Structure 1
Amino acid sequence: MNNSNTGFRRAALALAVSATLAHAVQAQDSDLQAKQRASVVEEVFIFADTDEVRSLPGSAALVSQEQFQIEFANDINQLLKTVPGTYIREEDGYGLRPNIGIRGATSERSSKITLMEDGVMIAPAPYSNPAAYYFPTAMRMHSVEVLKGAPLLRYGPQTTGGVVNMVSTPIPETLSGNLDLRAGQNGEQDLLANIGGQYGQFGFLLETAQRRSDGFKEIDRGNDSGYDIEDYLVKLAWTGERQSVLFKAQYSNEISDETYLGLTDADFANNEDRRYGLSSLDEMNNYHAGVSLRYGLQVSDDLSLTVTAYQNNFSRDWFKLGGGNSFVNAANTGDAAAQAILEGTADAFGLGYKHNNRDYESRGIELNLDHRIGDHSLSYGMRVHEDEMDRYQPVDVYDQINGQLLLSGRIEPVGGDNRLEDAEALSAWIVDSWQLTSALNLNLALRYEDVDSSRRQFSDPDRETDPSRRSNNSSEWLPGASFTYELSDKWQALAGVHRGFSPLGGGAQDFEEAETSINWEAGVRYTGSWYLEAIAFYSDFDNKTENCSNANPCSNGATAGAFTTGQAVIQGLELQASTVLSFGDMSAPIDLAYTYTDAQISRDNVEEGFVDGDTLAAVPENTLSLRLGLETAMNWDNYAVIKYIDETCVTIGCNNDSNPFNRTEDLLVTDLISRYALSDDAVVFFKFENVFDERAIVSRQPEGARPNKPRTASVGLQYQF
């Protein structure tokens, strides 16, 4: 597509939206002198509380502050396993780099869902490189919101499966703070400390999260397999009579001895927590720095305006063995030479350890207008966004001699290891929540995405020659509609349909088309002594795609770009049930979530060798979570969290073969938490993760069998002041 035409179209759309917003603001200007409402711009909530979640014209879930506190949550994977419709593929046992899928959006390094922190896209480069090699520190979050169905068109760019919004600690109304401490096996230590408050028109928050562990894996002839994480947050706020400003700055760094190299099945059976000496050099170093400035104006009782500017920078160097999968695959088939190299008993030459060195940057400005007109609650706005990735990845060459790794040379980066990728995007949306009658609420949404992406790849380390180039443009209109209907004072019906979109990323070529889908949902809710919800979903893909990387090789083996697998259908059923049972001075909260999913190729793809009925990769058929509690008047509360995930295909079509290496194993894990309140301000707790020490192959990616976290005990203190 002609770039000048694209730029003109974007400029015209931006001017049209800006003119509309300006006209709306001017129309209310006469009311300003009479209005004295305060408008505090704070964390962006998709929904205010659980009651709103249970009345939305779309399916949603809220991982509340209470759940964070009860479970002393520090692993986003374990939290989201309690949300229906989510699929988690574990990798390191600590949730450092999650693989989260939602309904039709598969879990490829969480690149198919929209990740946000306080309403700002938080993936390293959301359009050109959305794979979540950075993820916010879960333990410093106040809550997590998950939104599915047609209402998610308000957010983007990933609009197929769902949105995950991490809500950070809010500025407290009065001077106060929190101190949370935990110490556990394998040298695990967690600290969360914050202090903040409001003085007149000004407010502030200072917060830090510190995490470390020696790791639960044992490296042959190596060191610890743990991590050290530091995370710092500052918020400054000013609130006037009808306007406010919030400045937020965050910085974090991580050093983790993580690897892509897994185990053979035989070695996994002997010791799930083993790591080969070949991975002893592997280490991730990264840092993230983000700033945002949000301005809010309460124009009138019925009109508010918010403008958010943001920038995020992320740099990483994951130094690790490349190509270890060839040894694991060969050893799995009985190759004694490959097994000996893994064991360290045979010499090997020319082993490549790559500096997976990348710098990411994303920036943008977003404008939102919320306007209530009679029975209509309108939300419309636009976002201009840019992001980029600079990949410069030299390879250090080692020889394994007598079990020791000796440096023998370096290969300077060219080709795929030396490239620049970027994307520019313009988004616009309008959402109308229309209360047609006292029983019927209709939600109409329209989103527009216009994305230009490009890649420059260099054939020399110094980038002095002309690079090879590729580019892609996608422009999509994404409509959606949903409704809720009150069947009675206890029963509610809901349904919706929307068009989903997933951009291809910076490596896409001009002839490739972005992933699109039509997504349906319908269900019922019951609110009484129990809350019950049943929602069926159906996603029909014209061109299902996979995002390829070393962490998540595509079904064709590619580790870069995108792979189109063809037409597919992902359908299923989500069930929820919750209540609080009372027994005298004791209460027992119960929360159950279950998801059934059928994910298949829906039409033969002769070119790629897929046939109708082939099961898609990384989507479990059954997932279940059960949260049980026993709360007493003696200040002693106890909880159990039970989570089950079915086996999954590693590549497409594992249902049509008996190869055990093409699938993971199912897993049932139980966590126990016991809490005792010393006072209104202090609680001590004991946590037993995976109390029955159930172990399984939860992933075969990137390179071999990988385990879940073993049984781990920890104690801690939560103190408010």
Structure 2
Amino acid sequence: MFMPNQGLKLTALSVAITASIACPFAFADQDAPAMEVMQVKGSVLGNSEIADLKTYAGNRSIITHDKMERTAVRSIDTALQQIPGIKIKDETGTGVLPNVSVRGLDSSRSGYAQFLMDGIPMTLAPYGHTGQSLFPATLFMIDRIDVARGGASVQYGPNNVGGVINLISKPISTDWETTLNEKMTFFGSGKNLYDTNLSTGGAVNDDFSMRFDANFTKGESFRDHSDTDVKNIMLKTVWNIDSNNSIDANFQYYDAFSELPGALNTQAYEDDRTQSLRPNDEFNADTKRITVKYSHTLDDSSLYDYGELELLTFGNKSSRNFQWDFYNKNKDTDGDLGSHWGDTTQTATDLRNSPREFTVFGIEPKANIYIDGDITQHIIAGIRYVNEDISYQLNETDNTTLVTTSPRDWHMDTNAMAYYISNELGFFDDKLTLTPGIRLEDVRMEFTNLGQGYSQDNHVTEWLPGITLGYEFSDSWFAYTNAQRSLRTPQISQLWPEGQTLESELAWNYEAGVRFTPTDTSSLTLAAYRIDFENKAEYDKDISLFVNIGETRNQGIELEGTYSPESLPDLSLTGAYNYLDTEQLEGEFAGNQLPYVSKHQLSASVLYSFDQVDLGLMAYYYSKSFADLANSVEENDAGTAGEIPDYTVVNFNISTEIFKQNDQGLKVGLSVNNLFDNEYYFRGLDVSPAGRVAAPGRSFSLDLTYNF
């Protein structure tokens, strides 16, 4: 029953939240006694721990560091293939440029996947450039990966149609610890990749702790023209000012270079799938990122039972550049006038590059309030401001005359305000939870075509409501349903030519599921989902422009389970299945499937330990898919269309600690990726869109880790 004083609490609380967001330091009192610590989540995703899954009102999976090690994953994107509903196109074999699709949403540069690092947007620009064409994360620095496919849009918008992928960096230990790691991957034919890693950190004193991580990746992948050089350096610090106040600060520098072997025409693929016919394709990028979070625990009050204020600031200064061969059919009178500009059967006439510069700043004050009572309330409210300054160029050099022109010279300035609030209401001792929430996005984009001398404004204002409902039937059974509206604003690459009126992409997401957790190490989840796009944007190759193709539908069923028998606690079995049905509901190809979508996905893993030896076996399967909106079965001459066959990959890992004394230890591991050397491919991507992109074959990795 609702208590009368709760109405007074909530009325007064709305004033308190407003005041605290406007002035986050107003309640600070360093001399006040510390309040009793309550286990209240400061965000929808909590701390992204396994324990958070049990009563989360949406479908969600967490890949632990141990599981990533023991399933022989090479990179963050390959690790994600264990999650039902996720598919990747591995164009490099190194994880430098991930192409991640969630629930059938386009995977090119992971433009529809909302990646976060410790809750902070990872993308170059959260509104105007959502593609991960610079991915400042490497596997060694990641402790676990949290994939929430539904129920998080109110707090983590925009671009979360498929959900949120939160990468959690390694924590700072209490005692000072240092880890040295070397991973050597052998692809054959003298192609080797080396990962050198250093991590050191711990408590400096009672109030301050830090962790320094450095990762260097250098060598070649499995194909010709695949030299890679990546440097990733990060410093994490935590300063506990007193029992009520703390500051977390992260600093990162990331620099990446990678040659891109690109796509192959059909004959070249069949002759030698490891060769490259794109000798000038390459990628350069660097970024400097900083995040500072101030947290203040509110003292006891009659208004609430627990309160916390947070002020988050984040920013990055980044650049990235692609270079690629370009075939201009208008310059080749002897060529095939019907061929594609990326067709590797033709000789390139030009060399293109596309440098982009980004300066992004964001600030987000947030309040987290908990009110106990017959009906508990957990209120999260915040405001976020993001400014994006993006420079976008396209340069083209004629291979014969060496004359360089600039077909595109664009700039976009974005000022985005987001306001959000949600309130998790708990009934019957929190067995039943109802969480309504709403987010308002107010985005102003000023697009300037410097080359052609015109500007145009794009103002997007959208209300994004969401609601989740969860019920805990017992300690083992939990059921949920949720609905949310999601937004993806037009990208800088889409707002042309003059007068172009591309609309924002809007979608309604629906989920319902049940989770069975009989023990801490065993669980089973069944979820049904549906995504209704109102005005999906797709690239029209005939007119070389992005257009809104209208309504589309993605719907499916996800099943995921983990079992560890009590009689064999060192054995863990995991299996997952995803059925995904997509359909274009409007336009020329209404009734067809969306491109690159596999209707069926299966994955399974077996982990077992005996006599201090850890064994891991993982396999995944994806069914066939199409490469174009027309769902063409036959491969065309350029290789831009045609059915993509199904494929299966099996990975194996064995590791053991060969030395252990006090705090020192040496661990060695051997893994085999694509154990049976299955050959499969994807269709061309981004700067090499015509032909087949060979997926990695079998490789062997030796992993040495020394802790002290």
- Shorter-chain TM-score range: 0.7 to 0.9
Question: Within the alignment, does 1:192 sit opposite 2:197 as a pair?
Answer: yes
Q: CA deviation at 1:470?
A: 2.3
- 1:316 corresponds to 2:320: yes
Partner of residue 212, structure 1: 218
Structure 1 gap ranges (5+): 1-14, 219-223, 400-407, 461-466, 547-553
The correspondence of residues 495-506 of structure 1 with structure 2, limited to 5 A, is 495-506=481-492
The corresponding residue for 2:504 is: 514
Corresponding position of 1:452: 444
**Are the equivalent residues in 1 in contact too, given 2:72–2:616 (CA < 8 A)?**
no
Conservation of the 8 A alpha-carbon contact between 1:472 and 1:510: no
Equivalent position amino acid for 2:198 in 1? A
Do structure 1's residue 648 and structure 2's residue 648 form an aligned pair? no
- Describe the shift of the 1:323–1:664 C-alpha distance in structure 2 as closer, same or farther (beyond 3 A): farther
The 1:150/1:38 distance shift into structure 2, 3 A limit, reads: closer
SS class of match (2:128): coil
> How many Å separate the matches in 2 of 1:324 and 1:640?
47
Matched, 1:304 2:290: no
1:677 lines up with 2:679 in the alignment: no
Contact in 2 for aligned 1:99/1:109 (Cα 8 Å): yes
Over 3 Å counting, the alpha-carbon distance change for 1:30 and 1:356 in structure 2 is closer
RMSD: 3.2
Greater shift after overlay, 418-427 or 151-160?
151-160
Conservation of the 8 A alpha-carbon contact between 1:577 and 1:593: yes
- Give the partner amino acid of 2:699: T
Name the residue aligned to 1:60. 60
Partner of 1:590: 573
Between 697-706 and 55-64, the greater mean CA deviation after superposition: 697-706
After TM superposition, the structure 1 = structure 2 runs for residues 65-214 of structure 1, keeping only pairs within 5 Å, are 65-71=65-71, 73-103=73-103, 105-139=105-139, 140-185=141-186, 186-198=191-203, 199-214=205-220
- The answer to whether the Cα contact below 8 Å between 1:313 and 1:362 also exists between their aligned partners in 2 is yes
Instruction: Pick closer, same or farther for the CA change 1:691–1:170 going to 2, 3 Å.
Output: same
1:368 and 2:366 equivalent? yes
2: CA distance, partners of 1:338 / 1:534: 45
Matched, 1:480 2:466: yes
Report how far residue 35 of structure 1 moved. Answer: 2.3
| 1:438-482, Cα deviation, whole Å (9 max, x unpaired) | 33111222111111112211237xxxxxx2222211111111111
Q: Secondary structure at the match of 1:123?
A: coil
Report Cα offsets for 1:352-389 as digits up to 9, x if no partner: 11122111121110111110012111111010001122
1:500-546: per-residue Cα shift (whole Å, max 9, x none)? 21111234367432111221111111122541111000112221223
Equivalent positions of 1:249-264 (< 5 A) are: 249-259=251-261, 261-264=262-265
> Aligned partners of 2:597 and 2:180: how far apart in 1?
38
1:626 is aligned, of 576, 584, 604, to 604
- Structure 2 residue 562 is matched with structure 1 residue 573: no
CA, structure 1 residues 334+151, in 2 after alignment: closer, same or farther (shift >3 Å)?
closer
- Give the partner amino acid of 1:215: S
Give the TM-score, by structure 1 length.
0.85
Q: What does residue 493 of structure 1 align with?
A: 479
Q: Which residue does the alignment assign to 1:534? A: 526
**8 A contact 1:46–1:145 mirrored in 2:** no
Q: Distance in 2 between the 1:581 and 1:284 partners?
A: 47
| Map of 2:3 onto structure 1 | none
* 1:324 positional shift: 8.2
Deviation at residue 312 of structure 1 after TM alignment: 0.8
What is the CA–CA distance in structure 1 between the aligned matches of 2:566 and 2:17, rounded to whole Å? 53
Q: 1:74–1:137: 8 Å Cα contact kept in structure 2? A: no
Matching residue's letter, 1:717: L
Q: Amino acid of the residue matched to residue 714 of structure 1?
A: S
Give 1:118's aligned amino acid.
D
SS at match of 1:91: coil
Task: Name the SS of the counterpart of 1:412 in structure 2.
Answer: strand
Aligned 8 A contact 1:38 1:242 in 2 = no
Map 1:218-237 onto structure 2 (within 5 A). Answer: 218=224, 224-237=225-238
1:676 shift after superposition? 1.2
Q: Is the 1:579–1:589 Cα contact (8 Å) retained in structure 2?
A: yes
Which structure's residues are more often helix, by fraction?
1
What SS does the corresponding residue of 1:700 show, helix, strand or coil?
strand
- How is 1:271-290 mapped onto 2 (pairs within 5 angstroms)? 271-276=272-277, 279-290=278-289
- Residue aligned with 2:564, SS: strand
The separation in 1 between residues aligned to 2:447 and 2:556, in whole angstroms, is 37
Q: Distance in 2 between matches of 1:576 and 1:299?
A: 40
How far apart, CA to CA, are the structure 2 residues paired with 1:288 and 1:559? 30
Q: Shift in Å at residue 51 of structure 1?
A: 2.3
Aligned to 1:403: none
State the shift of 1:631 in Å: 1.1
Query: Following the alignment from structure 2 to structure 1, what is the Cα–Cα distance between the partners of residues 173 and 36?
Result: 20
* CA distance in structure 1 between the partners assigned to 2:447 and 2:352 by the alignment: 21
Letter in 2 for 1:642: A
Q: Do the aligned partners of residues 113 and 437 (structure 1) sit closer, same or farther apart at CA in structure 2, a change above 3 Å counting? A: same
Q: CA deviation at 1:271?
A: 1.6
- C-alpha contact (below 8 Å) 2:645/2:680 kept by paired residues: yes
Do the aligned partners of residues 338 and 532 (structure 1) sit closer, same or farther apart at CA in structure 2, a change above 3 Å counting? Answer: closer
What SS does structure 1 have at the residue aligned with 2:172? coil
Q: What is the DSSP-based 3-state SS (H/G/I as helix, E as strand, rest coil) of the residue aligned with 1:495? A: strand
CA contact under 8 A between 1:264 and 1:331: conserved in structure 2?
Answer: no
Task: Give 1:296 shift.
Answer: 0.8
Cα distance in 2, alignment partners of residues 204 and 325 from structure 1:
56
Shift of 1:21: 3.5
Output the CA distance in 1 between the equivalents of 2:42 and 2:426. Answer: 27
Task: Return the offset for 1:556.
Answer: 3.8
The offset of 1:274, in angstroms, is 1.4
Structure 1 distance, partners of 2:435, 2:65, is 28
Q: 1:356 aligns with which of 350, 354, 359?
A: 354
Of 654, 676, 681, the residue aligned with 1:697 is 681
* Structure 2 Cα separation of the partners of residues 331 and 492 of structure 1: 63
Distance 2:526 2:445 in 1: 40
> What is the alpha-carbon distance in structure 1 between the residues aligned to residue 579 and residue 112 of structure 2?
20
Q: Contact 2:632–2:643 (CA<8 Å) still a contact in 1?
A: no
Task: Give the share of equivalent positions with the same residue, in percent.
Answer: 21
User: C-alpha separation between the residues in 2 aligned to 1:623 and 1:587?
Assistant: 27
Match of 1:662 in 2: 642
- In structure 2, do the counterparts of structure 1 residues 470 and 32 end up closer, same or farther at CA, with 3 Å as the change threshold? same
Query: 1:587-611: CA deviations, max 9, x gaps?
Result: 3211111111001012x42xxx222
Give the superposition deviation at 1:272. 1.3
User: CA shift at 1:184, angstroms?
Assistant: 2.1
SS in 1 for 2:535: strand
What amino acid is aligned across from residue 701 of structure 2 in structure 1? S
Does structure 1 retain, via aligned residues, the 8 Å contact 2:61–2:148? yes
CA distance in 1, matches of 2:490, 2:209: 41
Contact 2:61–2:146 (8 Å) recurs in 1: yes
Aligned counterparts of 2:414 and 2:238: Cα–Cα separation in 1: 32
Letter matched to residue 579 of structure 2: Y
Q: What residue identity is the alignment partner of 2:291?
A: S
- In structure 2, the gaps of 5 or more residues are 1-14, 300-304
The 2-side partners of 1:322 and 1:599 are apart by 33
8 Å Cα contact 1:37-1:298 kept in structure 2: no
- The answer as to 2:419 corresponding to 1:428 is yes
Distance 1:302 1:449 in 2: 28
CA displacement at 1:22 relative to structure 2: 5.5
Matched residues in 2 for 1:525 and 1:46: separation? Answer: 18
Offset of residue 25 of structure 1: 8.3
Instruction: Specify the code of the residue in structure 1 equivalent to 2:514.
Output: V
